[in-house]
Amino acid sequence: MTFSSLERPPLRRAELGTNFTEAMALRSISRRFGSRVLSYRSSSVASLHSHATSFGFQQVKEEEKSKLVGNVFTNVASSYDIMNDVMSGGLHRLWKERLVGKLSPFAGMKHLDVAGGTGDVAFRIFDAVNSVKRRALRKVDEDSLEETQIYVCDINPNMLNVGKQRAAERGLGDNKALVWVEGDAEALSFDDNSMDGYTIAFGIRNVTHIEKALAEAYRVLKRGGRFLCLELSHVDIPVFKDVYDLYSFKVIPNLGELIAGDRESYQYLVESVRRFPPQEKFATMIADAGFEKVEYENLVGGVVAIHSAIKL
Amino acid sequence: MYRTAARRLLGAGFTTSRLLRLPKPRPTTTIIPYSYCTSSMESPIGNQSVNPNQSDPTAAREEGHRRDESRKPRAEFQEEQARVLAASLRHVPRLGWTEEAMIAGSREVGVSPSIVGSFSRKEAALVEYFMDECLQLLIDRVDSGLDLQNLIPSERVSKLVRIRLEMQIPYMSKWPQALSIQAHPVNVPTSFKQRAMLVDEIWHTVGDGASDLDWYVKRTVLGGVYSATEIYMLTDDSPAEYRDTWAFLDDRVKDAFDLKKSIQEAKYFAQDIGAGVGKSFQGLMNGVMQTMSTRGGRSSAF
């Protein structure tokens, strides 16, 4: 199981209003009674609104969520990579490789990676493009000698800083191809029809309004551009589902406490995975945003799903 | 093959944009998806079976239209893909059957090259599109009045194979690459189907009056002749536009027809011998039976 470093842990108690304490009370009651009925009831109201007003099994005000989400990463950026590796057993790397493989980057591409703070996906795309370019050097068309541009957009500047640091370590600090931009997935600062590719890996669960993020993705993509989303998703296989649930609710929060000293974050994380729409529903949402040829691929039986679509 | 037969059965009302499964007395019943149709065609994923006896082409067309309405988004992608692949073919002689050619093609059409990443089995998509195009061109040539009346069957076959192979001449320098792409295990099912369709189409045009086993034999033999000629063409440097290749083709086709004749002769021969042997065996058995019955009846037989 993997949880991306971009997962937002819940807020510090002091920063939250009554919503949080209510929700916390509700949650502790439900845990004591060993049932999730109470917490589901509180979230049944939320099911009338957009999914994104939930924060795990909590309810927070819409306006507050993006601010809170922005704050959260400030504290925890550094331990995310380690937690990713531990929780997924290193599998998250393979999943990102698969995502980039599906994208098939090409030289001269303009690509946007949203919620890609630490640069995992962006670096992989950069490597892919450069090796392709070297191999096809003789056959490169005169027109496609424009430079590749990979924009990494993230709402949190600290995550971007970590990414810039990693780029410097790889010797790409001054490379013009990688551009680090601070921005919100629901209100991108890029022009219409300017991107060949758009990826979002383990980030779409955190946006307040998923439909807005999808609409923005549609706006910035060129005609023929591809949308790819890598996200934790739902498992349906009978026995495996139970194993996965056990792992999620029993093991992950303990790992979080042990390694990152933050049990709440990972409790929230596991709950938010369950609240995210299942594969088919999310595919419908993507199609509603205007995309064509919407497909999804389950990895590890549905623990992770890659949704892909094209703007035509 | 389904297309030409359908056209003949349903006449003018039939539009070639649907793939219909017809109840023909054929051993194979695969529906072969024309995924790479030209832009004038729409999404071909219809599994409707049409009963030729009902012959109501307008109804079929209307139903088809209704189906297409609901499939519009899917059809758009197929159209775009076809358009990109068609444009890419122009770059193949220079760039080969590669992603670069398709990227160049997509740029020509005005679509982001990212779309190439969504084609399944990318280079194979281009090759398969080309094969479908050539088959369609062949069918069109035949329909628009190709004169085959005055030719004997073996010459008709030669002519059709020649027409088809001539379509590959502009890409001859990169054709070995296309062949290797088609031979890749992932791509073999599709390329095999396309070749089977081609061979079937040629036999259909020549005038197929085959019975069961013969149908397979004919297609297999022609498939072999076609492939052999195709490969011969790769290394043919003869002066007047592949003159040697056509001579090779004529020889192989004649051999095939001779082979067919020899198989027929062998069959008759075997029948005759079998008859002779059978007769004498039967005579023996008759004698035995008679002897047993007369002995049973106590009458003295010979």
Give how far Cα A237 sits from Cα of A241, A310, B12, Å: 6, 29, 51
> Using CA atoms, how far apart are residues B19 and B34, in angstroms rounded to an integer?
8
Pick from B110, B113, B118: which is nearest to A310 by CB? B118
Q: Tell me whether residues A196 and B110 touch, CB distance under 8 A.
A: no
Strand A58-59 to A149-154 pairing: unpaired
Q: Tell me whether residues B95 and A104 touch, CB distance under 8 A.
A: no
Q: Which residues of A are annotated as a binding site?
A: 118, 154, 184-185
- Check whether B98 has a pLDDT greater than 50: yes
> Using CA atoms, how far apart are residues A117 and A182, in angstroms rounded to an integer?
9
Residues of chain A with pLDDT under 70: 1-56, 58, 63, 65-78, 132-146
Contacts of B118 in chain A (CB under 8 A): 226, 293, 308, 310
| Mean pLDDT, chain B, integer | 75
Q: Which residues contact A141 (CB under 8 A, 6 or more apart)?
A: B100, B103, B104, B107
- Per residue in B140-196, pLDDT (tens digit) is 998 887 777 778 888 888 999 999 999 999 999 999 999 999 999 999 999 999 999
Q: Tell me whether residues A103 and B74 touch, CB distance under 8 A.
A: no
Name beta bridge partners: A232.
Answer: A304
Q: Tell me whether residues B73 and A292 touch, CB distance under 8 A.
A: yes
- The DSSP symbol for B79 reads H
Distance of CA A111 to the CA centre of its chain: 16
Torsion of CA A264, A266, A269, A274, to 10 degrees: -100
Q: Which residues of A are annotated as a binding site for S-adenosyl-L-methionine?
A: 118, 154, 184-185
- Check whether B20 has a pLDDT greater than 80: no
> Tell me, what's the pLDDT at B286?
78
Q: How many CB atoms lie within 10 A of CB A61?
A: 12
Which of A80-84, B13-17, B87-91, B218-222 comes out lowest in average pLDDT?
A: B13-17
Q: Tell me whether residues A196 and B114 touch, CB distance under 8 A.
A: yes
| Mean pLDDT, chain A, integer | 78
Hey, CA dihedral for B164, B167, B173, B179, is it positive or negative?
negative
- Per residue in B158-168, pLDDT (tens digit) is 999 999 999 99
Are the beta carbons of B177 and B187 closer than 8 angstroms?
A: no
> Tell me, what's the pLDDT at B302?
46
Residue B108 contacts A, CB cutoff 8 Å: no
Name beta bridge partners: A231.
Answer: A305
> Tell me, what's the pLDDT at B213?
63
Are the beta carbons of A109 and A196 closer than 8 angstroms?
A: yes
> Tell me, what's the pLDDT at A156?
86
Percent of chain B residues past pLDDT 90, beyond the cut: 32
> Tell me, what's the pLDDT at A121?
92
> Using CA atoms, how far apart are residues A6 and A107, in angstroms rounded to an integer?
28
Tokens at B35, concatenated? 């995924």
Q: Tell me whether residues B100 and A109 touch, CB distance under 8 A.
A: no
Contacts of A226 in chain B (CB under 8 A): 112, 114-115, 117-118
Please name the residues between 141 and 160 in chain A that touch chain B, using a CB distance below 8 Å: 141, 143-144
Q: Tell me whether residues A223 and B113 touch, CB distance under 8 A.
A: no
Q: Looking at CA atoms only, how far is residue B114 from chain A in angstroms? A: 5
Give how far Cα A90 sits from Cα of A126, A128, A258, Å: 21, 20, 18
> Using CA atoms, how far apart are residues A128 and A236, in angstroms rounded to an integer?
33
Top CATH class of B121-284 equals mainly alpha
Tokens at A107, concatenated? 């030289």
H/E stretch holding A67 reads helix A62-88
Tokens at B158, concatenated? 């030669």
Domain boundaries, chain B: 77-119, 121-284
Residue of A nearest to B92 (CA): A139
Tokens at A183, concatenated? 């921005």
Pick from A140, A141, A197: which is nearest to B114 by CB? A197
Buried b (16+ CB within 10 A) or exposed e, A265-293: bbbbbbbbbebbbebeebbebbeebbbbb
Contacts of B112 in chain A (CB under 8 A): 196, 221-226
> Tell me, what's the pLDDT at A72?
55
- Per residue in A216-265, pLDDT (tens digit) is 999 999 999 999 999 999 999 999 999 999 999 999 888 888 887 778 87
> Using CA atoms, how far apart are residues A160 and A169, in angstroms rounded to an integer?
14
Residue of A nearest to B106 (CA): A224
> Tell me, what's the pLDDT at A148?
87
Residue type, A245: D
Q: Tell me whether residues A141 and B100 touch, CB distance under 8 A.
A: yes
> Tell me, what's the pLDDT at A258?
85
- Per residue in B80-95, pLDDT (tens digit) is 999 999 999 999 999 9
- Per residue in B229-286, pLDDT (tens digit) is 999 999 887 777 788 889 999 998 888 887 777 777 778 877 877 777 666 777 777 7
Q: For the purposes of burial, counting CB atoms within 10 Å of the CB of B229, is it exposed (0-12), middle (13-18) or buried (19 or more)?
A: buried
Are the beta carbons of B191 and B113 closer than 8 angstroms?
A: no
Give the A:B interface size as CB pairs under 8 Å. 77
> Tell me, what's the pLDDT at B22?
39
Residue A288 contacts B, CB cutoff 8 Å: no
